[in-house]
A and B are shown apart, each in its own frame.
Chain A
Amino acid sequence: MESTLMVWLIVAIVPLCGIICALTPYFMPRSECFAVTIPETAQNDARVKGMKRTYCIAVLLITGLCTVLVACVSPETIKGNDVALFTAIYMVATLLPLSSAFALMLVFRKRVQELKVQEGWVAQQQLAASVVAGATETPQPLSMRWNILYIPVFIAVAALIYALYPLMPEQIPMQVDLAGKVTSSVAKTPISACFPLFIGAFIAAVFVFCSWSILRSKRPIDPKRAASSAYAYGSFARVMSIAMLACGLALTAAIGMLIPLATVGVLTMMQAALAILVITVVIVIAALIMSFRYGQSGARVFEGVQDSQGMVRDDDRYWKLGVFYANAEDPAIFVPKRFGFGWTCNFARPATWVILIGFVLFVVAFIALISALFR
């Protein structure tokens, strides 16, 4: 029963991610199409509409195909057979919609660029705007102070581990397979019992970094409608920062509580893993709903507002392959994505590389620490 639910939830992630990818062109600001700046009125052009539709249908078809493929091997996996085959097919099924979406985006980006030249869509100015005062009325992302909420979570987890420590077996399981069989375990010590705290600290650090980057991001304001675009972006950034905090707290608390409970046998390992998987699926569904409701940078907050004529700026040349932003003159380290939901980095800034290398070092150090402590 549990393994059935578990496998189907894992399978469900494939179509959910595929749908987000397929709908991406519809989540983007109307002044952009396949990472190309266009006049908003050009969104009503039949060719632009057609390209978006074709992209969407193609990605949906590939996603559907991949979903069917994984679903076909799932029944055997539930019985405990063909786990390696399932893993391999699952890898392909998650990566194929993503990579084909990227390839299709590049194809249509090229076509929109050609259309732009052909139609003479040129920005006469390079406008950028910033809301300087009265910013208190526009929604703001959560401040870093909210991250204090991780502290009670850690205290609760530590207290739970302390309380359950006498009940823990001499060998603490570290890894379980899809069938719930323990594949690796370590001797019980106070440090090995604290394993969930280490994982929780890692997750919290990643989410705290995300909320920090949201606060430091460039805020894209449309000079033609400064107040409403500031409001739209503010709502988007706020809801994203709330989502980051909620995800971080939920995952930290779930992993921190469920692993010790499973160790002492209150829950089975399968039930614990299932609960964490449910949280993951909820997060993916929430991402889909948020992209639908808010759109990238709040593009869908004021849906139905009259399209503006012309282009206030054109920074396409800084977007390499439509997704990598590199502008040495821009002091912003974090900028909203050009094709996708969320933020990306300005790769022309040295600070970006310091942060990226720092992040890689952090992950490597964490893995090294874990393997040193729990081997």
Chain B
Amino acid sequence: MVITVDKTSSEPIYLQIRSQIIAAIAQGELAEGDSLPSVRGLARDLGVNLHTANKAYAVLQDEGYVRMNGRKGTTVCVPSHAANSMQRQDAQQRTLDVLRRAVVEFKACGGTQEEFVELAKAAAGASEREATTTAMPKTMREGE
């Protein structure tokens, strides 16, 4: 799995890292228990501030996608496998929030409920297909 960041993008770098790790989990590129590089190593390779890499891991940890095991390092954590039911609920809640916001905007533009469901299905299908293509940040951003 490769993380690519674009320093000219308006999206903050730590969010670029975050969304790519989440996408890799969604596509099965990263599995439960896979180890991730150290904050220091990731920052060095990407040429970004240590603080930036730390922020990305902190957000992922809060969202339940990674586990920081102190000296053992950071490992991937698939929320559906999470022992913590609160984290599972959190993940669902976040998706629901995003969907609600999208529905409101879609309705304001004159769309119907059926059309929205169709589009959501298409988007879900597209994210499945992306699993076979390389993870470039642009496609990641569109998927968000």
Interface of A toward B, CB cutoff 8 Å? 124-135, 216-219, 221, 223, 226-227, 230, 313, 315, 327, 329-332
Contacts and interface: CB of A to CB of B under 8 A. Distances in A.
Contacts of B34: 133
A331 B36 contact: no
Contacts of B136: 223
Contact of A130 (B3, B9, B30, B76): B3
B60 to A, nearest CB: 12
A329 B51 CA distance: 11
A126 B13 CA distance: 11
B42 interface: yes
B50 A331 contact: yes
B42 A218 contact: no
Contact of B2 (A124, A125, A226): A226
A355 to B, nearest CB: 15
B35 to A, nearest CB: 8
Contacts of A135: 37
B1 A133 contact: yes
Contacts of A126: 6-8
Looking at A132, A218, A219, A221, which has the most chain B CB atoms within 10 Å of its CB? A132
A129 B3 contact: yes
Given A130-B37, A223-B136, A331 B43 contact: yes
B134 A331 contact: no
B50 A227 contact: no
23 contacts: A125-B7, A127-B7, A128-B47, A129-B4, A130-B2, A130-B3, A130-B37, A130-B41, A131-B1, A132-B2, A132-B3, A132-B24, A133-B1, A133-B24, A133-B35, A135-B37, A218-B44, A223-B4, A223-B136, A226-B4, A227-B2, A313-B7, A331-B40
A266 to B, nearest CB: 49
Contact of A133 (B5, B36, B43, B44): B36
Contacts of A315: 47
A146 B1 CA distance: 28
Nearest to A223: B4
Nearest to A135: B37
B68 interface: no
B45 A130 contact: yes
Contacts of A127: 4-7, 137
A125 B8 contact: yes
A227 B3 CA distance: 11
What is the size category of the interface that chain B forms with chain A?
20 to 34
A217 B45 CA distance: 8
Nearest to B44: A332
Nearest to B35: A133
A219 to B, nearest CB: 5
Looking at B4, B6, B8, which has the most chain A CB atoms within 10 Å of its CB? B4
A272 B27 CA distance: 62
A218 B47 contact: yes
Nearest to B134: A226
Contact of B46 (A125, A128, A230): A128
B31 to A, nearest CB: 9
A132 B46 contact: no
Contacts of A313: 7
B22 to A, nearest CB: 13
Contacts of A330: 44, 47
Given A130-B46, A135-B37, 7 more contacts: A125-B7, A129-B5, A129-B46, A133-B1, A134-B1, A223-B4, A230-B2
9 tightest A-B contacts by CB? A126-B7, A130-B45, A226-B2, A223-B4, A129-B4, A133-B1, A332-B44, A330-B47, A128-B46
Contacts of B91: none
A327 B47 contact: yes
B130 interface: no
Interface in B47-98: 47-50, 76
A196 to B, nearest CB: 38
